Amino acid sequence: MKYTYSLIAAALFSGQAMANKAQLEFSDVFDFKYAQGTQLAEDGKVLAFSATPYRGNAQGQVYNLATNKLISTVERGTKAYLNKSATWAAFIQAPTLLAQETATKKEKKALTKNLVLINTQNAQQHVFEQVKDYQLSDDGHWLAYREDKKSQSDDKAKSADTPTITADKKDKALTLVIVDLKTNQTQRFENVVNYGLSPAEYGVLFSQHDETGANNQVQYLDLNNNTVSPLFSEPGVTVSAIAWHPYSSIVAFNLGNYVNEDKRRRSYDVTLWDANIDKLSTIDSPSGWYSSKTAKLEWSDQGERLYFENRPQLNDKAKELKYDNASSLRDFDTIRQQSGLQIWHNQDPEIKTREQNTWKKTNRERQYQAVYHIESKKVIQLADETVRDVTLNTEADYLLGKNDQPYLEKVMYEGFYADYYAVKVSTGAKGYIVKDSPNQPTLSPTGRHAAYFLHDQLWLKDLHQQKETAVSKAVRQAIFSDDQHDYPRPNPGYGFAGWQQDGSTLYAYSKYDIWAFDSVTGDAKRLTSGKETNTRYRVIKLDPKQVGFGKDETLYLSAFNLQNKQTHIAKLSLGTGHIETVLKGQARFDLVKKAKHANKLIFTQQTYHQFPDYWQTDNQFETSQQITNLNPQVSKFAWGQKPELIQYKGYNGENLQGVLIKPADYKPGQQLPVVIYFYRYMSQRMYDFPKMELNHRPNFPMFTSNGYAIFLPDIRFEIGKPGPSSTQTLINAAQKLIDLGVADKNKIGLQGHSWAGYQSAFAVTQTDMFKAVVSGAPVSNMTSAYSGIRLKSGLARQFQYETGQSRIGKTLAEAPELYIENSPVFFADKVNTPILLMFGDTDGAVPWQEGIQYYLALRRHNKDAIFLQYEGEPHHLKQFPNQVDFSIRMMEYFDHYLRGMPAPEWITTGKAYRPES
């Protein structure tokens, strides 16, 4: 029989609602571990990851999946890596948390990391100290790494008459160590700035600098005969990116030099060298193009193509005028060049903050994709000024191209739009797909067809004939336009699953199901039966490089039930059309990884009470084994009762759901203090294990184990009335809890951040139902926020109100009354609810002055308002002390106003300003 959650995990809930469990303390949250950097061997025999606690030292873990046993651990092991043959599991061993937290700024720079290798056959560990970076050969025979300390020759005296060619600051010359892992013999090479170890047993290419730069070399160590050969030896010569061919003795690298002091205008040559026959060749970019230091190199999986990046030649650098003599002090051109000036012009495509924000990506480090075909020796420019970006898949014959330059101004008001093209890898030919589109299209593997969603329809286009057909029109029984879309802009579609490899079939999503559309006729066939069971089927993509599906391939699907919120896993055979649910039950299941060359899958299952540990199975799903048990301590805490789905009505009477979590010792009829945490849709979290961290949101088990009920409601918005529609929905949801006899009507609080921070800040201007509110980073004045700037992205905020999340749907000039009616600051005199406001004063999403405006308005009307300003913090708190501090204050605030506990001093009298002494 297939794996069913209820047969194995039903007992997990027994006793959860019992008393005598421990209350969760803030320090308990520190100990919860999550798997990071998970690696699954290609043969499916080894699993490795770093078990990282919220606060503490990580632990590297390696499992033998054949025996389902933990075979080794590495204290402070991070960044797990398995070489291709999985003979070695590697971890970077970080300094202790104590060392990091107690070190001065200077001492932190001196902290080093170790490399720990674990032999996956015998679990033996090998430690290499002070490692900056490393590479392992595919077969596990060779290790190359650089020591994170000065090379011995760094301190040699330099001759006074020797000219110095300055290397870039980031290019650290360190000692390279080559280790034969079979014999433990080592070799050392000083002053190495970059290196590349061949995946097979050929050798190591490395760039070596001397103290002055005058005698730099690019060298090759042949691992077969242990000989070192210089390839290049000249002043300033250096190598940036290095990429070995996956199966042969050819290595590609960017060859340049430091002689030109203008870093942006240094030209690097994409160079190929065959180590077996000692043959060098240069890949020439098209005329007017050159490669730069930061250009990336990447081979296709079989090595028939080398993808590289280049850019157009830059204009000469403008002459810099400086004060260098008495006359220059009175020269207007020199004087004016010292001024700090940015000119904001109404004809600029982007406002200056956005231009500054994107300059690095679009100008300073802008690279364009090109490819070199090994057999034909042809260079094809794939991206250029007309199609600036391509979505690279090294295995695809056609790539999706994009150009957003005509719509840079439009971003400020309507959001992101672009023109899309099909780019042929063999020739660079570009076929037009769609212009001025807010939605990214999908391109068939053959490049013949594309599909996109526009004007509430799914369109299929023949790119050869430039003929397009609205194929969704004929499928009247399905919904292809997002019916939960409540923004003042065109509805998006539900997206695409992919294509058949031969391009004959498009696989697209409706609200519930997966549909197959014939690329030629447009005929549609439904492959799943989700509509009948209120289940949403979606393809799980475990191979990011997969270009298309085979006609008889079996696909893995997630099956999310929109009514009961369970997520199952199913299999769909494209050959037979047979669909089968293979992981099911009152839980959420997720496929995490599939072994590349073996019948091995890793999945998780989770509920509010069950941590998503790793399990293993095969493609038949007949048996499953739990691999990890990262957080066994869950069972000792009064975590809360099994969550319940609660039905209530939205603003316009639509049916909505929310998740109610009661304390473990709750008894029927007991009326509780309730904290409502919300944003938009939340009921899909019914079976999610709560994120065990302290940040801008309440930690759910922390509250439920301390006597609160937590409620997570869904919110639907009315365009033009985001504040009133949200408020009425929250009132309806809270009233439902009161009617059920769960909520004490005098002890209901709200907590929201960002968009939910706005909603909570507005709600208390309209109702006294809520007795305490914690509002993080809220917009309080839409009239000022409308013409503000999102400092992180540099974007003007107009688009958020005209077409985006704030949902006004008109400009400020068109409907000033809507901006005022939806702004809390204009109704501050109506607030009777204690409110705690929180902002980071470097918030890059919402100007923190929005919090000041609301606080000052509330203060002016003598309202119970406190403002928490976290210095140097962005939109979400990042610094651990601040995360902990806010979490504690949030709990103290609700404890006082909802549970009647004594107020701490900061609530009653605040805290006086004291500058640092």
Fold of 640-905: Rossmann fold (3.40.50)
Q: Quick one: pLDDT at residue 153?
A: 56
Strand partners, 584: 4
Q: Quick one: pLDDT at residue 916?
A: 67
- Whether 210 contacts 191, CB under 8 Å: yes
Per-residue pLDDT tens digits for 286-337: 988 989 999 999 999 999 999 999 999 888 888 899 999 999 999 999 999 9
Per-residue pLDDT tens digits for 58-107: 999 999 999 999 999 999 999 999 999 999 999 999 999 999 999 999 99
Fold of 382-586: Neuraminidase (2.120.10)
CA dist., res. 701 & res. 708, Å (int): 9
Q: Which residue has the tokens 């990042």?
A: 878
Residue 369, helix vs strand vs coil: strand
* CATH code assigned to 31-153+167-312: 2.130.10.120
Q: Which residue has the tokens 């800040």?
A: 761
Question: How many CB atoms neighbour CB 285 within 10 A?
Answer: 24
CA dist., res. 648 & res. 209, Å (int): 70
- Whether 149 contacts 117, CB under 8 Å: no
Q: How far is CA 383 from CA 312, 424, 443, in A?
A: 11, 11, 16
Per-residue pLDDT tens digits for 757-808: 999 999 999 999 999 999 999 999 999 999 999 999 999 999 999 999 999 9
Per-residue pLDDT tens digits for 234-288: 999 999 999 999 999 999 999 998 887 777 788 899 999 999 999 999 999 898 8
> Residues with Cβ < 8 Å from 277, sequence gap 6 or more?
249
CA dist., res. 44 & res. 25, Å (int): 39
The one-letter amino acid code at 680 reads R
pLDDT exceeds 50 at position 492:
yes
Strand partners, 136: 143
Radius of gyration, alpha carbons of the chain: 31
- Whether 191 contacts 208, CB under 8 Å: yes
Q: How far is CA 313 from CA 111, 268, 379, 440, 452, in A?
A: 40, 12, 17, 30, 35
Strand 743-753 and strand 672-677: the pairing is parallel
Report CA dihedral (102, 108, 112, 116) to the nearest 10 degrees. Answer: 50
Mean pLDDT of all residues in 406-434: 95
Residue 620, helix vs strand vs coil: coil
Give the domain ranges of the chain.
31-153+167-312, 382-586, 640-905
pTM: predicted TM-score of the whole model, two decimal places = 0.94
pLDDT exceeds 80 at position 16:
no
